[in-house]
Amino acid sequence: MAFIKQRFFHQRYFIGLLIGFFVILAHVYYVQLSDTQWLNGIQLGSIAINEWMNAGIDWMFINIFSFILPILCSLGPSLAITEDLQSGFTNHLAQFSLNRYLVTNLSISFMGGMLTGVIPSILDYIMALWFFPNKIPNLLINYGEAMDAMTSYGYKLYYQNPIFIVLISLSIIGVTGGIYSLLSILSGLIFKNRYFAMSSPFILTTILTLIADNFPDHFYSPVYIVFGRSVHDLPPINGLILTYTLLIIGLIGIIYYEFKAKIST
C-alpha cells in the first residue's frame, strides 16, 4: 500500500491536475458566469448540460483541455517505470516479483490518466449544476444546442436523460487519458528518457489531429473524440470500443515485452 501511495500521490501528478483545474476555472469564469445573464426566471435558455464544458457549444476551453490532456496524463505515475529503469531499481527485481511490479504500475498509471481527465470534467459539471437548473433540454428552447448522431455519442438521450451523456463523455475521457498514460510508459521504455515519455503522447495526438483535420472522413483524432460535441464526425461507438480495447491490450503487451527486454540487457 505504501508503494502505491508513493507512486500515485506524487507532486508531479498534482501539477497535472492543477493545470486541468485552471482550465476548468477559466471556463467557469468566462463562460458559465457570463451565461447566467440568460436566467430570467421565465425562459430558461441556459441549463446545466449545455453549460458543461464537454457538452456545450463553446469549443474554446474543451479544445484547450483536450489538447493538453496527453501532457497532463504523462505527468503522473506513468513516468515511474522510466525513472526506475534510469535509476537501476528494476535490476533488483526478482523474476517472481516482475509481473506484480508491472501489474501494479500499469494499473496505477492507467488510473492516474483516467482521473486526470475525469476529475476536472466532473468539477466543471458540478459548477454547471451550481449555477444553472438541472433540467431536461426543451425541444423548442434548446433546439439550436441539440446534439446530433454524427458528432455526439448518446445524442438520443439529450432530450430524455442528459446525465447519461455526462457518463458516456466521462467514460471516453477517462479511457483516453488512461491510454495516454500507457503511451507515455511505452515511449519512456523505448527511449529511456522521461522527456520523451512526457512529450510523445502529445506529439502523436497532434499529428493525428492534423491528419484528421485534413481528412475528416477517413481519420479520427482522440482530441475530438473526447468532445461531447465534436467539430468533426465521430467513429461509430462500437468501432471506438473495439479500437480502444485492442489498443489497450496491444500497449500492455508491448510494454511487457519492452520492459523484459530492457532489464535482461
Distance, in Å, from the CA atom of 230 to the CA atom of 248, rounded to the nearest integer, reads 23
Query: What pTM value is reported for the model?
Result: 0.88
Give CA–CA dist 238/240, Å, rounded.
5
Q: Return the DSSP state at 93.
A: -
Please answer whether residues 78 and 113 qualify as being in contact, where contact means their C-beta atoms are separated by less than 8 angstroms.
Answer: yes
**pLDDT band of 10, cuts 50, 70, 90:** low
The pLDDT of residue 139 is above 90 = no
| Per-residue pLDDT tens over the stretch 113-122 | 899 999 999 9
pLDDT band at 227 (very low <50, low <70, confident <90, very high): confident
pLDDT of residue 183: 93
Q: What is the pLDDT of residue 26?
A: 93
Lookup: cell for 162? 442528459
The pLDDT tens digits of the residues spanning 40-87 come to 654 556 788 888 888 877 778 888 999 999 999 888 777 777 777 766
